Structure 1
């Protein structure tokens, strides 16, 4: 799903909620617009997700429809939509080091991490060489400032969270990630050996979803991390999506549970990792 379509769907969902509120009140779009002093087309554009309502619009809408108590939740939803999408280029404009440092407070305050990766080994479980290969690719593709060495150092420093504090990490990785060469085969071999090591830490639960698994509801989706039950960060090709609405966080939690149900753990997961190492010769 593209960033623009993700945001547009969120706008349309907000518009549908407002349409339902208006219909429940018995008002037509024309009557609501007249009461608010708007052109009638404004209601249509808001309901169809073509125009984002302002906070004042939402207060007026709910007051006219007789449900002013719903204004606060609708405003929170609108703020989330406005801030949910940060372009990778904008985030990385000041350099990769700054992008890595920006998530430090989030990692420090989170106690329960749920990570699903369908693209690369999760950053907290990466070796320095693998991280460098990933970030060099980002520099090449996006033309971001080349401060890769500094960014690698920040990420390696952040990995202390695996061994300190009261943090727990549930990690799910698609098996094909284990066989995707980033950098060189030697870099991947080192990364996979490291994955076995960190996967045995008391704070880490590592699951691998085998190739050919019967999916049911647990189909591959975009990579994401759930931080406690407070926030979800979603990795898209062109953007970083931040989700803070509880209903949407619950959906990602459910998706994680379904994916966890088809993963293998312990000796079975290690066997898949060593199989990927052996395939590299």
Structure 2
């Protein structure tokens, strides 16, 4: 796991390490004594697990608890905590080893249960606002560049189209902010981009949707462009990084993203001025 040490994922790993250390100390064992009883060479493995440098395996946790005289029920609780921590960070290779569809299916319920969704993108049009052809171009590029072993782009397109129903159904609100450059980055052919921009003009008029565009000449002194992220109510943030997919749930860290999003909204133009930027980009691909 390569996430920041201040991320929710790393914090969860550290909490697990702390709980394992407490079990060892309650048993009156040093790191070396535990390692010797478990048949592990030296004490470095113990230290790395307790300091969240490396995660334990489920078998490591079971053996740790056995040596420390802790019952199997406690071990299974810790294994559940391990799996929860691991789910906060997914490197793309692991997440996509069976194709692009599983992760897309997994997150649909989150979109459906969220009342207020806020999304910022500095790279591509946010998924809920994408046209079908644009989505195909994005997914095809991901499949090829990341060498996804299963070609399930058609199935993902069906799933993505179903997900978009939240824009028109139920009690949901959506606030999107994109950099102006997103409107001009060519994803697919020029006609794909032109259709995407026309689609943006259409969906941005929906009563549930607010679309802000940060002009290229905006003063970025106080808020630089950030990594793309999606906020689900006030409890969860999903961040797409070059190496993987991060889920943020720690309240303090979610609060950081909320503050950044507020700054980005303030930088953006909305309504008629946003549509003017869309029209200008559309003319460039006309």
Structure 1 segment 148-163 matched on structure 2, within 5 A: 148-163=153-168
CA contact (8 A) 2:12 2:85 kept: no
Q: How far does residue 95 in structure 1 lie from its aligned partner after superposition? A: 2.2
Counterpart in 1 of 2:53?
50
**Alignment length, in residue pairs?**
251
Counterpart in 2 of 1:84?
88
Q: Which whole-Å CA distance do the structure 2 matches of 1:37 and 1:256 have between them?
A: 46
Q: How far does residue 34 in structure 1 lie from its aligned partner after superposition? A: 11
Counterpart in 1 of 2:3?
6
Q: How far does residue 153 in structure 1 lie from its aligned partner after superposition? A: 1.4
Counterpart in 1 of 2:236?
231
| 1:137 pairs with one of 122, 141, 151 | 141
| 2:31 pairs with one of 38, 63, 73 | 38
Q: How far does residue 80 in structure 1 lie from its aligned partner after superposition? A: 6.0
| 2:182 pairs with one of 177, 183, 187 | 177
Local SS of the residue matching 1:6: coil
Counterpart in 2 of 1:128?
132
Gaps (5+ residues) in structure 1? Answer: 18-31, 58-74
Local SS of the residue matching 2:98: coil
Cα 1:43/1:142, change in 2 over 3 Å: closer
Superposition TM-score, scaled by structure 1 size = 0.77
Structure 1 segment 176-215 matched on structure 2, within 5 A: 176-215=181-220
CA contact (8 A) 1:77 1:245 kept: no
Q: How far does residue 108 in structure 1 lie from its aligned partner after superposition? A: 1.1
Q: Deviations over 1:164-201 (max 9, x none)?
A: 00000000001001000001111000000100110111
CA contact (8 A) 2:31 2:47 kept: no
> C-alpha root-mean-square deviation of aligned residues, in Å?
3.2
Q: Which whole-Å CA distance do the structure 2 matches of 1:101 and 1:12 have between them?
A: 25
Q: How far does residue 92 in structure 1 lie from its aligned partner after superposition? A: 2.2
| 2:111 pairs with one of 91, 100, 107 | 107
Q: How far does residue 143 in structure 1 lie from its aligned partner after superposition? A: 2.0
Counterpart in 2 of 1:116?
120
Q: Which whole-Å CA distance do the structure 2 matches of 1:209 and 1:136 have between them?
A: 27
Could you tell which deviates more after superposition, 169-178 or 37-46?
37-46
Q: Which whole-Å CA distance do the structure 1 matches of 2:146 and 2:173 have between them?
A: 33
Q: Which whole-Å CA distance do the structure 2 matches of 1:193 and 1:9 have between them?
A: 40
Counterpart in 2 of 1:241?
246
Q: How far does residue 280 in structure 1 lie from its aligned partner after superposition? A: 2.0
Could you tell which deviates more after superposition, 47-56 or 206-215?
47-56
Cα 1:93/1:50, change in 2 over 3 Å: closer
Q: Which whole-Å CA distance do the structure 2 matches of 1:43 and 1:152 have between them?
A: 45
